[in-house]
């Protein structure tokens, strides 16, 4: 009786995790996979570890994602794209002042030791996977273009409003700025030192201030 | 007779590769290992592949390097440090004008498709190995500090000569510049597009021009 109850419980638990609320299970798998990949790279992350952390069965995983690659692609298309929309695209789309918003974004970068040591989730996948998997490379490239495009549009809009120096090229300036931002996250990841990023935030802020129109 | 000759040949070949000219064998191993790691990351590179490419025996390898890690550390300490000395430190140490030399270095960046796709050998190891191996992390950090230190010293010297704007902080500006340079190599590696780097060279050149003292 006790034993059969316990079996029933397990079955119920599995059902909850796999088919009762499939969207919730899918989101749980994605977020768990994102955290594991962010912590220890895509290639070093085993599916078993993700299943163990998410407490989801292999059957449920394969119901949502055909392979480890498909799960990885969804991390880029959904989780990392979502972060990029919230952090860059949305604030820049509504802003009354592109430079103010870019400075807010830079100054909002996490300086906790664990975040600094992990680097940028997008750039980590870019550096690890671009040479070995076209599917990752193209998806990551799409997110970089989304990020750069949103900075570029905001700078152009700032030029129209007379807030951003008219002589700069918005697209090239946006690319320069994102390269710098990613470069700093990479240096800080190697140094495991929030001080590197703190100095970067200061220097990127003066760089951004220098893009404002100079009123004589 | 034929068969025994062939055996003798093999022995002679092995001896040449392993003990006749140990320094040459060591250099051959290091350069081959560097090329393989640059092409496909440290963790994905097998020792067998290096031995096959270098035509060196496993015995000779272990004579020079106690483990794959030791070989990897020597890639950073010797090959990559050597590249950094030749590309950054030496030209900046003797220069009469730091900005001119930095522009030369930036404009000398290889734009061939294969180099662009591989990214920066130092930053690749920084991003791959910093979270998983302290030995790599510290060695790579030392090379970054060498690079940033040499740019910083040259900028300070430029300030003393009145060529570089006195209000900039040499160390923070050097770090900003190296972050940007590495960031561009990373974006171009993901895009597999020399055009990204060409735009970067243009934008980094104007950034560097902007560091010159403005004479009224």
DSSP string, A28-66: HHHHHHHHHHHHH-TTT--HHHHHHHHT--HHHHHHH-S
- What is d(CA B184, CA B141) in angstroms, rounded to the nearest whole number? 19
The ipTM is 0.89
Q: Check residue B216 and give its pLDDT.
A: 57
Instruction: Kindly report the pTM of this predicted structure.
Output: 0.90
What residues of chain A, 94 to 123, have a C-beta less than 8 Å from chain B? 117-119, 123
Token reading at B95: 């220069």
Please state, rounded to an integer, the average pLDDT across all residues of chain A.
Answer: 91
- Partner-chain contact A127 B131, CB within 8 Å: no
- Partner-chain contact B182 A186, CB within 8 Å: yes
| pLDDT at position A49 over 60 | yes
Least confident stretch, A117-121, B10-14, B205-209: B10-14
In tens, the pLDDT along B39-64 reads 989 998 999 999 999 999 999 999 99
Using DSSP's 3-state secondary structure scheme, residue B45 falls into coil
What residues of chain A, 2 to 21, have a C-beta less than 8 Å from chain B? none
Q: Check residue A216 and give its pLDDT.
A: 57
| pLDDT at position B182 over 70 | yes
Q: Check residue A203 and give its pLDDT.
A: 97
| pLDDT at position A8 over 80 | no
Q: Check residue A7 and give its pLDDT.
A: 39
**DSSP classification of residue B213:** P
Q: Check residue B2 and give its pLDDT.
A: 36
- Partner-chain contact B141 A190, CB within 8 Å: yes
- What is d(CA B27, CA B17) in angstroms, rounded to the nearest whole number? 11
In tens, the pLDDT along B159-178 reads 999 999 999 999 999 999 99
In tens, the pLDDT along B60-84 reads 999 999 999 999 999 999 999 999 9
- Partner-chain contact A175 B200, CB within 8 Å: yes
Within a 10 A sphere around the Cβ of B156, how many other Cβ atoms? 18
Query: Which residues lie closer than 8 Å to B1 by C-beta, 6 or more apart?
Result: none
Mean of pLDDT values over B184-200: 97
| pLDDT at position A20 over 70 | no
What residues of chain B, 118 to 177, have a C-beta less than 8 Å from chain A? 118-119, 123-124, 126-128, 130-132, 137, 140-141, 144, 172-173, 175-176
With an 8 Å Cβ cutoff, is B82 touching chain A?
A: no
Please state, rounded to an integer, the average pLDDT across all residues of chain B.
Answer: 91
**DSSP classification of residue A216:** -
- B142 contacts A191 by C-beta, under 8 angstroms: no
- What is d(CA B41, CA A165) in angstroms, rounded to the nearest whole number? 42
Q: Check residue B9 and give its pLDDT.
A: 41
- What is d(CA B134, CA B172) in angstroms, rounded to the nearest whole number? 25
Query: Which residues lie closer than 8 Å to A21 by C-beta, 6 or more apart?
Result: none
Query: What is the 3-state composition of chain A as percent helix, strand, coil, each rounded to the nearest 5?
Result: 80, 0, 20
E-strand spans in B108-167?
A: none
Q: Check residue A22 and give its pLDDT.
A: 87
Residues of A in contact with B187 (CB under 8 A): 126, 144, 175, 178-179, 182
Alpha helices in A77-133 (DSSP H): 81-84, 90-94, 98-107, 113-118, 121-129
Q: Check residue B20 and give its pLDDT.
A: 67
């Amino acid at each position: 009786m006790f034993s059969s109850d316990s079996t029933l419980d397990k079955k119920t638990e599995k059902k909850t995790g796999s088919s009762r609320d499939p969207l919730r299970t899918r989101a749980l798998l994605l977020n768990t996979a994102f955290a594991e990949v962010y912590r220890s790279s895509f290639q070093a992350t085993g599916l078993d570890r993700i299943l163990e952390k998410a407490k989801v069965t292999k059957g449920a995983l394969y119901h949502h994602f055909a392979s480890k690659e498909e799960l990885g692609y969804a991390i880029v298309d959904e989780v990392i794209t979502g972060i990029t929309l919230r952090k860059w695209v949305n604030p820049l789309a509504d802003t009354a002042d592109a430079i103010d918003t870019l400075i807010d974004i830079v100054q909002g970068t996490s300086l906790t030791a664990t975040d600094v040591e992990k680097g940028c989730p997008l750039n980590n996948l870019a550096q690890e996977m671009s040479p070995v998997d076209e599917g990752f490379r193209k998806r990551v490239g799409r997110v970089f273009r989304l990020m750069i495009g949103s900075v570029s549009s905001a700078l152009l809009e700032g030029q129209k409003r007379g807030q951003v120096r008219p002589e700069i090229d918005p697209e090239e300036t946006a690319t320069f700025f994102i390269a710098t931002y990613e470069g700093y996250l990479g240096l800080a990841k190697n140094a495991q030192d929030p001080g590197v990023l703190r100095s970067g935030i200061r220097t990127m802020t003066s760089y951004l201030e220098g893009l404002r129109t100079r009123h004589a």
